[in-house]
Structures are given as structure tokens and as C-alpha cells.
Structure 1
Amino acid sequence: MTMNVETSTPPGTPTPIGPYNHIAKAGPFITIGGTAGVDPATGQLAGPDVHAQTTQILKSFAVMLASVGSDLGHVLHINVFLAAMSDFERMNAAYIEAMGAHRPARTVIGVRELPRPGVLLTMNLTAVTRD
């Protein structure tokens, strides 16, 4: 069985900072690459704090997932890359607000540096379509 891989960066999401699209989809499987808390309307960080950036990432994920027939309730796994583990609880608070009762598998990794100044975290995910 062969599956075509479709890639995209839908409108209403941040512009990638490198040579990639945000979304790769093959059959019902979806991956979204590393996404920072950038407001797509302004191209600037959604805020200077981890709560605002986490909220924006998850809003961007919702738009991306909707563009390929999915939603946050169909997320299988999320990776969180935090620049400071001291932001863990504040990230969790914003994460719970956005994810509601859905608790996919998750990994949180502390990182030394992220590619854009002021970025406190990035996330990527794996999901499936609603079908």
C-alpha cells in the first residue's frame, strides 16, 4: 500500500522560518512540525510569557488541524520543547485551557536554545483525521 504525502502551511498560521511546511499528512496520519507562539496576523510573538506563547501555539495547531480534517481532540502525541523548565507549570495551565479533557501522550524536553529570539517554547504533534 502506498500513501501520498501531502504537505501544507494553511492561511492563518505563522510563516515557517525555514524550508518546510508546517503539516505533513499521509492517509489519516498528520504531523505538525515545530511551531512557536507567533501571532500569524502580525508575525510577532503572541506575548513575552510562556502562557501567551503556549496559547498561540495551540490556536495555530487548531487551525492547521482543521485544514486537514482534524482537531485537537484527535491529537495522539505532543512534544514540548521548553527553554526554561521553570515555565513548566505556566505552560501546563495554558495547555489545559486549550486541550480541555483530552490528554494525549506528551513529552516535555528542556532545551538550551530556540531559533528565534524571545521564543520560550515550541511544540510539534502527531494526530489523526476525524474519519
Structure 2
Amino acid sequence: MKTIVQTPDAPAPIGPYSQAVKSGSTLYVSGQIAIDPASGELINDSIENETRQVMKNLGAILSEAGMNFSHVVKCSIFVTDMNNFAKVNAVYGEFFTSNPPARETVEVSALPKFVNVEISCIAIS
């Protein structure tokens, strides 16, 4: 059994996928990019602001599912330039101040809407 999790406080999907799917106590959150859900605009004036918006979008979806960042057990980070790793990592760390989840960071050639960073996560309640 699965439950679709959807919130207007995160960007609407731009393809045939859900913001998140909950199965049992596990929440699978789709990759988020830095779209401001209020304006629909991309936040990409700096890699720090872009990453922060991605994390806010993840947080909104977690919240809709009755969770927060402390429930996250795994993240996947995709960046188009590994030279941004330290800046992305610093902002990411603001949201995981203790007991951070497992994760990987992978450089890719391109991301949707040609953003610089996309992050997905898995959380358990």
C-alpha cells in the first residue's frame, strides 16, 4: 500500500511523478530543485541560495508527511559541478546538525531546468 504525499508548500512535479510516496513508515521524497513554490521561479542567484531552497522544499514535503529532517535516513545529492561541493555541503549541514543521514554526492552532466543541484531523500517515521 502506498500513499501519495503532496503539498502546495513545495514545487508541483514537472513530470509524471509524485513529490513523495509513503509506504508503511517509509517516505520516499523525489528529487527537489530550487523552485520557489510561491512564485514558481528558480532560485539560482548563488549555489548557497539554490541549495537552501532545495532543502526548504524537502522540509515542506517532510512536514506534510508529519516528519522532519531528523527522520531522514538517506539523501542523494546531484550536482553539475563538484567544485560547488563545499558550498552545497555547508548549507546541507545547516539542516542536519546532529546524526546526519547516509548519503552520496554525484556529479552529473545536467539536471532538470539546468539547475546546479538536486536532492532526494528517504525518511522513516
Q: If the TM-score is normalised by the length of the shorter chain, which range does it land in?
A: over 0.9
TM-score, normalised via structure 1 length: 0.90
3-state SS of paired residue (2:22)? strand
* Equivalent position of 2:119 in the other structure: 123
Native 8 Å contact 2:9 2:37 kept in 1: yes
* Distance in 2 between residues matched to 1:45 and 1:100, nearest whole Å: 26
Give the C-alpha shift of residue 10 in structure 1.
0.8
Given the alignment, which residue of 65, 69, 72 partners 1:72?
Answer: 69
Provide the C-alpha distance between the structure 1 equivalents of 2:63 and 2:12, rounded to a whole number of angstroms. Answer: 17
* Contact 1:73-1:99 within 8 A present in 2 as well: yes
| Unaligned ranges ≥5, structure 2 | none
- For structure 1, list consecutive stretches of 5 or more residues without a partner in the other structure: none
Counterpart in the other structure of 1:19: 16
* Residues in 1 aligned to 2:16 and 2:89: alpha-carbon distance in whole angstroms: 30
Match for residue 105 of structure 2? 108
- 1:59 and 2:52 are equivalent in the alignment: no
Partners of 2:10 and 2:61 within 8 A in 1? yes
Give the alignment's TM-score, normalised by structure 2.
0.95
1:93, distance to aligned residue in structure 2 (A): 1.0
Q: Are 1:82 and 2:99 counterparts? A: no
Matched length: 125
Note if contact 2:5-2:65 (Cα within 8 Å) is conserved in structure 1: no
RMSD: 1.1
Q: Cα distance 1:46–1:102, how it changes in 2: closer, same or farther (>3 A)? A: farther
Q: 1:67 to 1:48 in 2, by over 3 A?
A: same
Superposed displacement of residue 104, structure 1: 0.5
- Which of 42, 45, 48 lines up with 1:48 in the alignment? 45
Query: In the TM superposition, what is the alpha-carbon distance from 1:56 to its structure 2 partner?
Result: 0.8
**Runs of 4 or more consecutive aligned structure 1 residues displaced over 3 Å after TM superposition:** none
